[in-house]
Structure 1
Amino acid sequence: MVSKDSATRRAGRVRRKLKSVANGRIRLSVYRSSKNIYAQLIDDTKGHTLAAASTLDKDLRGTLKTGADVAAAAAVGKLIAERGKKAGVTKVVFDRGAYIYHGRVKALADAAREGGLEF
């Protein structure tokens, strides 16, 4: 019997609910580490990543003080919205994974909304 930790189970629960309400929309997935934050636009029907952004991108690396604060998350949110619009994506479903919708995750989501993504 394989044991799953609580974060993996929680992320699975979130993704299961998203699939039921997504109606074929693209998924904006967020990964947050202790030093950086990452975002991807994923088409689950084809299994392809349409756009990605993180604090490690050359566009952001020089302008940010650190990759682990709310300002960095907001910058990544704006960048993923810009790249998503360039890829033709406007409506998405927000996948917070196992993270609480607070702090850096919320800042990324708010910046993506301001950038033009609808969710």
Structure 2
Amino acid sequence: MNPIRESDLMMTRRQLFGRAALGLGTAALANVLGPDLLAKGQAPGTHFAPKAKRVIYLFMSGGPSHHDLWDYKPKMREMFGKDLPEHVRDGQRITGMTSRQKTLPVCPSKYTFTKHEN
């Protein structure tokens, strides 16, 4: 057997007591909390009735990373308040949240960005 692997498999006394304490602590916590949960037969629900009827989960694989979206866009200041150009939209609606909007104004970030070089 590989001696390096063999030393990895051996547990030190400190590791033994640490894992034993974690196991005993978990058992004690289950003993303290368990009777209340088991007596009712069911976990308590939320404080209010749920209202959501549907959930939309978006997983956008291959989208730009958040680092790429922080780059400085000088044209943003020029286009502030103007409608989004048609060539950007390509005749498509951007999202479902904009379906009743007449215009899609461009808004730059409220923060100022500067170039930092090494």
Q: In which range does the TM-score fall when normalised by the shorter chain?
A: under 0.3
* TM value normalised by structure 2: 0.23
Higher relative contact order (Cα pairs below 8 Å, separated by 6+ residues): 1
More strand by share: 1
- Rg comparison, structure with higher value: 2
